[in-house]
Amino acid sequence: MSVALGATLAESRDRGRKLLVAYLMAGSTPSWLETLDCLVAAGADAVEVGLPFSDPIIDGPTIQAAATASLAAGTTFDSVVSALTGRSPGVPLVAMTYANVLLRRGYEHAAAGLVEAGCTGAIVPDLSLEELDDWQEAATAVGIETVLLAAPSTPPERLDALCERSQGFLYAVGRMATTGEASSLDPQGLELVRALRSRTGLPICLGIGVSTPEHAAAACEVADGAVVGSAIVRRMLEGASPEELGAFVGTLRAALDA
């Protein structure tokens, strides 16, 4: 059974829970489905499921490597849908992919496939506001909420527009860089969250560069949640077991609950 994205996260936030969104790349390891289950069991409030693409422009070396491994293993949009269908992990699933992956199938067909997979959210980082209408109309019609990204460089007027159009939650980009681990949080990301706070009632989650339990806790001093991706994916590529990955996510959860 699918779990609604925005309503679920907002309810948890309103109860005082700090949100943890975990990311993995579908098909990047043979045990990725077991890893997904372990991330949920460890306390992730939602899971971003990356659908591999050959030119992932927002992703840094770690997630690029995961996408390459996934494609080499024969992963496709349809194979991910098939693998996820009927699993019911118990938290919202958010598909993270690129516009060409969706366009190749047609937006309506792609949105229907994500619903079949149990996804209730989507992140399409290369789809600008000016090009959003067709995808968002097709997605909203079947219950997929499209999460938009705001960056530290985004002008105030565009922040207003992003907040108006985003669904599920608002993804605050923590630094002006591609995805990847960092030694410390960029203050620009924290300032962005503060700028967004008065603009939206959606949960605001800070990601890109959030790499450790300490980072997650610091992010959630101003944000409603943290998105952790590359730190999980690197461990996956290095051969960590699903249980070890769950243990890492457990340290993130503990830091947010402290």
Active site residues: 48, 59
257 contact partners, CB below 8 Å, separation of at least 6: 18, 43
Q: Minimal CA–CA distance to 174: which of 152, 157, 158? A: 152
The single-letter code of the amino acid at 103 is L
Which three-class secondary structure state does DSSP give residue 183?
Answer: coil
Distance from C-alpha of 228 to C-alpha of 246, rounded to nearest angstrom: 13
CB-based contact 132:104 (threshold 8 Å): no
Q: What is the 3-state secondary structure (H, E, C) of 123-173?
A: ECCCCCHHHCHHHHHHHHHCCCEEEEEECCCCCHHHHHHHHHHCCCCEEEE
